[in-house]
Chain A
Amino acid sequence: MKSEFVFIALPASALIAPSAFAIQYLTVEQAQQAIFPGKSFTAAPVTLTSVQRKVIERASGVRVLHDEQKVWRVSGGGWFIADEVVGKHEFITYAAGLTADGSVKQIEIMDYRETYGGQIRDQKWRAQFVGKTSKSTLKLDSDIKNISGATLSCRHITDGVKRLLAFYEIALKH
Chain B
Amino acid sequence: MKSHSNIEIRRCRPLLGTFVEITARGHDERLLVRGIEGGFDAIERVNRLMSFHDTLSDVSRMNRDAFPKGVIVHPWTWQVMKASKRFAEESLGTFDITVAPWLTKWNYLPRRRYQFSPTASSRDIFLRRNYEIFFRRELIVDLGGIAKGFAVDRAVDALKENGIGCGIVNAGGDLRTFGPASQLIHLRHPKDPIRVAGAVRLRERAMATSGIYFERRKYRGKYVGPLLDGRTGQSGRELISVSVAAAECMAADALTKVIFALREKAAGLLAQYQADALLLERNGASSWMFHSSCDTSDGTRFD
Interface residues of A (CB under 8 A from B): 1, 3-10, 12, 14-20, 23, 25-26, 34, 88-89, 94, 106-109, 112, 114, 116, 120, 122, 125, 128, 138, 143-155, 157-158
Contacts and interface: CB of A to CB of B under 8 A. Distances in A.
Interface stretch (B62-70, B90-98, B179-187): B179-187
A149 B290 contact: no
Given A7-B287, A89-B214, A150-B214, A18 B190 contact: no
B289 A7 contact: yes
B209 interface: yes
Nearest to A144: B186
A108 B274 contact: no
A150 B190 contact: yes
B197 A109 contact: no
A148 B185 contact: yes
Contacts of A152: 18-19, 172-173, 214
B194 A116 contact: yes
Contacts of B189: 15, 149
A9 B196 contact: no
A6 B264 CA distance: 10
Interface stretch (B7-15, B73-81, B119-127, B153-161): B7-15
B287 A19 contact: no
B170 interface: yes
Contacts of B23: 145-146
Interface residues of B, number: 62
Nearest to B20: A154
25 contacts: A1-B271, A1-B272, A4-B271, A4-B291, A5-B271, A6-B290, A9-B285, A14-B286, A25-B11, A26-B11, A107-B13, A109-B14, A116-B193, A120-B192, A122-B191, A147-B170, A147-B185, A147-B196, A148-B186, A149-B197, A150-B173, A150-B213, A151-B17, A151-B172, A158-B14
A121 B211 CA distance: 18
Contacts of A148: 170, 173-175, 185-188, 207-209, 243
A88 B18 CA distance: 15
Given A148-B187, A148-B188, A154-B18, A108 B198 contact: no
Nearest to A8: B288
Contacts of B195: 15-19
Contact of B187 (A6, A26, A147, A154): A147
Interface string B282-303: 0011111111000000000011
Contact of A147 (B17, B173, B214): B173
A125 B12 CA distance: 33
B224 interface: no
Nearest to B272: A1
Interface of A is mostly: loop
Contacts of A128: 284
Which 5 A-B pairs rank lowest in CB-CB distance, beginning with the nearest? Answer: A149-B188, A150-B213, A154-B14, A151-B172, A109-B12
A15 B268 CA distance: 28
Given A34-B11, A157-B14, A19 B286 contact: no
B51 interface: no
A83 to B, nearest CB: 12
Interface in B134-179: 148, 168, 170-175
A3 B275 CA distance: 11
Contact of B198 (A6, A17, A106, A122): A17
A23 B10 CA distance: 10
B267 A5 contact: yes
Given A19-B186, A108-B11, A148-B170, 19 more contacts: A1-B274, A6-B289, A8-B288, A10-B198, A14-B303, A15-B286, A25-B10, A25-B12, A108-B13, A116-B193, A147-B187, A147-B188, A148-B173, A148-B187, A149-B213, A150-B188, A152-B18, A153-B18, A154-B17
Contact of A5 (B21, B208, B286, B290): B290
A112 B19 contact: yes
